[in-house]
Chains A and B, each alone.
Chain A
Amino acid sequence: METKVGHGSVQPEAEGHRSMRKHIISYVIMMVISIAAFLMVGTNMLSPGAMIVTLLIMAAVLVFLQLADFMHLDQKGHLYPIIFIANGIFWGIIFIVVIFIWP
Chain B
Amino acid sequence: MASEHQLTTGLNAGDRLRLGLASRTLEGRNKILAFWFFLGGESVLFASLFATFLVLRHQTANGPTPHELFGLGLVFILTFLLITSSLTSIFAVNAMERTDRKKTAAWLGVTILLGLGFLLLQIYEFAHYAHEGLGFKTSAFASSFYTLVGFHGFHVAFGLCWLTAVTVQVVRNGVTTVNAPKVFIATLYWHFVDVVWMFIFTVVYLMSLL
Please give the residue numbers on chain A whose beta carbons come within 8 Å of chain B beta carbons, in ascending order.
Answer: 1-7, 9-15, 20, 23-24, 27, 30-31, 34-35, 37-38, 41-42, 48, 51-52, 55-56, 58-59, 62-63, 66-67, 70-72, 75-81, 84-85, 87-89, 91-93, 95-96, 99-100, 103
Contacts and interface: CB of A to CB of B under 8 A. Distances in A.
B19 interface: yes
Interface stretch (B118-126, B129-137, B201-209): B201-209
Contacts of B39: 84-85, 88
B158 interface: no
Interface of A is mostly: helix
B90 A70 contact: yes
Contacts of A10: 8, 15, 23-24
Contacts of B21: 12
Contacts, number: 157
B202 A13 contact: no
Interface stretch (B40-48, B106-114, B143-151, B165-173): B40-48
14 contacts: A3-B4, A3-B5, A11-B18, A15-B94, A27-B86, A34-B201, A41-B206, A63-B199, A70-B87, A81-B36, A81-B37, A88-B41, A91-B44, A96-B54
Interface string B21-58: 10110000000010011011111101110110011000
A42 to B, nearest CB: 5
Given A37-B202, A37-B206, A70 B80 contact: no
Nearest to B89: A70
B167 to A, nearest CB: 19
Interface string B83-100: 110110010011001100
A96 B51 contact: yes
A14 B177 CA distance: 14
A16 B80 CA distance: 26
A96 B50 contact: yes
Contact of A66 (B54, B79, B191): B191
A58 B202 contact: yes
B76 interface: yes
